Amino acid sequence: MKKWNQAGPIAHALLVALFVLVSISALLPLVFVAIISLSSTESIAVKGYSFFPMEWSLDAYRYMWTRLEYIGHSFLVSCLITLVGTALSLGLISTMAFALSRREFRLRKLYTAIVVIPMFFGGGLAAGYVVNTQLFHLKDSLWALILPGACSSWYILVMRNYFRQNIPGEMLESAQLDGASIFQVFWRFVAPVSAPVMITVGVFEAFGYWNSWYYAMLYLGSNHQELFPLQYVLYHLQKNVEFMASNENISGAVMRSLPTESFRMAMVVITILPILVSYPFFRRYFLKGLTVGAIR
C-alpha cells in the first residue's frame, strides 16, 4: 500500500504541472478583466478584448472617481448589509440546525420537512413581494435587503449534518447535568467546536450579501438612493454610461470617449477586490469546512 500511495518523480512533476495549469486557468480571467478595465476605448474598439491593448487608460476609474461620494456611501451600505446579514444568517441557521440535529427533539422530522420543501417549491416572486411589502412592511428599508435572504435551507441541512457527526452527545449531556441551559450549551460548547462550518457558511452568506443587487431593485424606490448598495449603484452607473453612449443627441466625440466596456470590467474589479483581500484570512477554516465529514 505504501508503494501505491507514493508518486514517482515523473508523476510528481506531472501533478505539479497540472495544478499549476489549473491555478493559472483560475487566475487568468481575473487578470484579463483587470487588463480590459485599464484599456482605452480606442484600443477596445480596434483590437477588442486583448491581453496587450494598444493604449492603457484610467478613464473607467476616473469616471468612478467623479462619483466617489455616491460610490463611497454605497460601499458603506454594502458593508453594513453584509455584516448584519451574515451575523443574522449565522444565528438563524446555526440554531435551527442545532435543534434539528438533536434526536431528543420530537418535532425534528416535521421541521426538517418544512426546511426542505422551499428547496423544491418556491412561493413565487409575486407572493414574496406581497408578503415582504404588505405584511412585513419592508419596502424602502435596509431590512428589505437583509431579511429575504437571511435563512438558507441548504446551509441548515449542511450545518445539521456537521452537528450530528462532530458534536459528541456525551459532551452536551455532561454540560446539561452540570446545570447548563440549552442556550448555554450551544453558545459555550457547540459554537466554538463548530468554527470551521460556521466560518464556511458565513463566508458564503457574506459573498451572497456583498454581490446582491436584485433586492435593492425590487424593494427600494428611486427616492431612497441613500439605501442603495454598491452593486446596485455600479449597475446604475453602467446603465447611465450605456445610455449616453447610445444617445444620438450626444456628439460623436463624447460618445467615443465614454469608457463603456472598460467601465463594465472596472465594476467587476471593484466588486471582487474586497473578496480577494478578505479570502486569505478565512482560507484555513474555509478549506476545513468544505472537507469536513469527507473521511466519515
37 falls within a domain: no
> How many structural domains compose the chain?
1
Q: CATH code at 71? A: 1.10.3720.10
106 falls within a domain: yes
**Count of beta carbons in the 10 Å neighbourhood of residue 165:** 11
The more confidently predicted of residues 172 and 256 is 172
Name the residue range of residue 223's domain: 61-291
Amino acid residing at 174: S
Which of these, 245, 274, 242, 264, lies nearest to 37 by C-alpha position?
A: 264
pLDDT value for 2: 59
296: confidence class by pLDDT, cuts 50, 70, 90: very low
173: confidence class by pLDDT, cuts 50, 70, 90: confident
- CB-neighbour burial class of residue 274 (10 A; exposed 0-12, middle 13-18, buried 19+): middle
- Indicate whether 84 pLDDT > 90: yes
CA angle 227, 228, 231 (to 5 degrees): 150
pLDDT value for 96: 92
Which grid coordinates belong to 172? 452536551
Amino acid residing at 100: L
pLDDT value for 293: 44
Alpha-helical (H) ranges within 102-194 are: 108-120, 125-130, 153-166, 169-177, 182-185, 191-193
19 falls within a domain: no
Which of these, 198, 210, 161, 215, lies nearest to 282 by C-alpha position?
A: 198
CA angle 132, 134, 139 (to 5 degrees): 55
32 falls within a domain: no
pLDDT value for 149: 85
185 falls within a domain: yes
Segment 2-10 shows an average pLDDT of 66
115 falls within a domain: yes
pLDDT value for 93: 93
Owner of C-alpha cell 431528543:
104
- Indicate whether 292 pLDDT > 60: no
Separation of alpha carbons 268 and 265, rounded Å: 5
73 falls within a domain: yes
1 falls within a domain: no
CA distances to 125, 228, 229 from 219, rounded to whole Å, are: 12, 10, 12
Verdict on whether the full-model pTM lies above 0.85: no
